[in-house]
């Protein structure tokens, strides 16, 4: 039945499903194993299958599409208000169906296998960077215990290595061996980070979208691939502001009675793209600091009255809107000031 909605509460071994019509008439409630679920859905007439956006949801959404069904994902925070009384698998599956019936409900676009592969590679590199940072901090902490204080940053590793290898250092032999082991682990992590970075660059060189996005100042390989891997189809957003809001780059609102109260950015969206856009915006401001900013421009007015970090976030918001425009129009970056002057 085409007006049938099946909500699925995913798990590792047992899936709870709840089927109902668009009018809310319950048609089925079942608990199935993974193998049983696939066979059961293959035998069902074409319908809409809805999952919570969680681990494995993208895979199962693609599997349902392969069986001829339509599939959608809902963010868990949008399902939670529809859970009746206490939480259990059956109540979760029913809540998914009720949430999916809401005409104003926002859905999550299932990722393709290629998008997930890029996301895995991106997150793998991020994980290695965090592990390397942890090792560097552990090394600095050990040396600090013996009176050696070094600043933050990988650029000081050579100084640390020279201090550990100095024959005149007063560190105990066991501590020297531990520091050398930490240095070896840091070097190994650095090589693996470089390897992942080269792989990401190779992927970006074969992607028209990544190449187009890199024409914008402040957008590099990692930012371009993060947009490809984590962002949905840009045509789903009505405007660039909607995309910036999806990233959490717009002010948090606490408005009432027709009076607008705006606070800090919401940070309620995709954290990887948001972080990289802010880093790219700060790099643009640092680069502009070595060049003259045109008097009367938006950046000049902002920098004259606002802190630099706040201006960077505002610039990241503007960059997000420009990314949306570039993606929807399939155009390279155009400098707004040059376009206005022309």
Q: Would residue 342 count as lying in a domain? A: no
Q: Is the model more confident about 265 or about 15?
A: 15
Tokens at 44, concatenated: 């069902």
Whole-number pLDDT of residue 339: 52
Q: Are residues 186 and 241 in the same domain?
A: no
Tokens at 27, concatenated: 């048609």
Q: In the predicted model, what is the mean pLDDT of residues 53-69?
A: 93
Q: Would residue 120 count as lying in a domain? A: yes
For residue 206, is pLDDT > 80? yes
Q: 6 pairs with which residues across the strands? A: 19, 49
Q: Are residues 243 and 202 in the same domain?
A: no
Tens-place pLDDT, residues 151-202:
998 889 999 999 999 888 889 999 999 999 999 999 999 999 999 999 999 9
Q: Would residue 108 count as lying in a domain? A: no
- The answer to whether 18 touches 48, Cβ cutoff 8 Å, is no
Size of the chain, expressed as the number of residues it contains: 342
Q: Are residues 325 and 238 in the same domain?
A: yes
Tens-place pLDDT, residues 266-276:
878 889 999 99
pTM: 0.85
Q: Would residue 213 count as lying in a domain? A: yes
Kindly give the interhelix angle for 271-289 and 298-305, rounded to the nearest 10 degrees. 90
Q: Would residue 341 count as lying in a domain? A: no
Q: Is the model more confident about 30 or about 287?
A: 30
Residues 214 and 281: their CA atoms lie apart, in Å, by 13
Tokens at 296, concatenated: 């009367």
Out of 206, 225, 246, pick the residue that ends a domain. 206
Confidence grade of residue 2 (pLDDT, cut at 50, 70, 90)? low
Q: Are residues 216 and 198 in the same domain?
A: no
Q: Would residue 340 count as lying in a domain? A: no
Q: Would residue 107 count as lying in a domain? A: no
**Angle formed at CA 157 by CA 151 and CA 159, multiple of 5 degrees:** 80
Q: Are residues 274 and 331 in the same domain?
A: yes
What is residue 256's DSSP assignment? B
Tens-place pLDDT, residues 236-267:
899 999 999 999 998 887 777 878 787 788 87
Q: CB-based contacts of 166: which residues, under 8 Å, 6+ apart?
A: none
Domain range for 313 is 209-335
**HSE-up of 101 (CA within 13 Å, CB side)?**
20
- The answer to whether 214 touches 295, Cβ cutoff 8 Å, is no
Q: Are residues 184 and 245 in the same domain?
A: no
Q: Are residues 148 and 94 in the same domain?
A: no
For residue 1, is pLDDT > 70? no
Whole-number pLDDT of residue 337: 64
* C-alpha dist (Å) from residue 92 to 75, 76, 265: 13, 10, 31
Distinct helix (H) and strand (E) counts, the chain: 14, 7
Tens-place pLDDT, residues 287-340:
755 566 777 778 888 888 889 899 999 999 999 999 999 999 999 998 776 655
Whole-number pLDDT of residue 302: 87
Confidence grade of residue 7 (pLDDT, cut at 50, 70, 90)? very high
Out of 67, 101, 135, pick the residue that ends a domain. 101
**Domains held by the chain: number:** 3
Residues 157 and 163: their CA atoms lie apart, in Å, by 10
Q: Would residue 173 count as lying in a domain? A: yes
């Amino acid at each position: 039945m085409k007006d049938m909605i099946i909500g699925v509460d995913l798990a590792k071994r047992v899936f709870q499903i709840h089927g109902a019509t668009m009018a809310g008439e319950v048609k089925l409630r079942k608990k199935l194993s993974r193998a049983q679920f696939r066979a059961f859905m293959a035998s069902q007439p074409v319908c809409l299958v809805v999952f919570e956006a969680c681990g494995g949801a993208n895979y199962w959404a693609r599997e349902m599409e392969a069986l001829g069904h339509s599939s959608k994902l809902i963010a868990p925070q949008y399902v939670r208000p529809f859970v009746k009384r206490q939480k259990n698998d059956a109540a979760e599956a029913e809540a998914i169906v009720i949430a999916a019936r809401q005409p104003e409900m926002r859905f999550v676009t299932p990722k393709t296998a290629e998008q997930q592969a890029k996301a895995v590679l991106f997150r793998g590199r991020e994980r290695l960077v965090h592990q390397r940072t942890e090792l560097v901090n552990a090394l600095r902490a050990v040396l600090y215990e013996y009176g050696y204080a070094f600043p933050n940053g990988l650029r000081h590793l050579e100084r640390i290595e020279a201090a550990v290898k100095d024959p005149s250092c007063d560190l105990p032999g066991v501590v020297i061996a531990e520091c050398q082991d930490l240095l070896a682990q840091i070097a190994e992590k650095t090589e693996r980070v470089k390897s992942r970075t080269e792989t990401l660059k190779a992927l970006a060189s074969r992607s028209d979208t990544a190449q187009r996005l890199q024409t914008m100042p402040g957008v590099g390989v990692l930012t371009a691939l993060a947009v490809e891997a984590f962002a949905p189809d840009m045509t789903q957003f009505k405007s660039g502001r909607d995309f910036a809001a999806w990233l959490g780059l717009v002010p948090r609102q606490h408005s009432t009675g027709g009076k607008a109260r705006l606070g800090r950015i919401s940070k309620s969206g995709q954290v990887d793209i948001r972080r990289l856009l802010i880093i790219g915006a700060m790099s643009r401001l640092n680069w502009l600091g070595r060049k003259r900013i045109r008097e009367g421009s938006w950046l000049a007015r902002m920098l004259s009255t606002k802190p630099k970090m706040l201006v960077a976030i505002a610039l990241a918001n503007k960059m997000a809107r420009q990314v949306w425009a570039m993606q929807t129009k399939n155009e390279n970056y155009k400098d707004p000031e040059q376009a206005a002057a022309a």
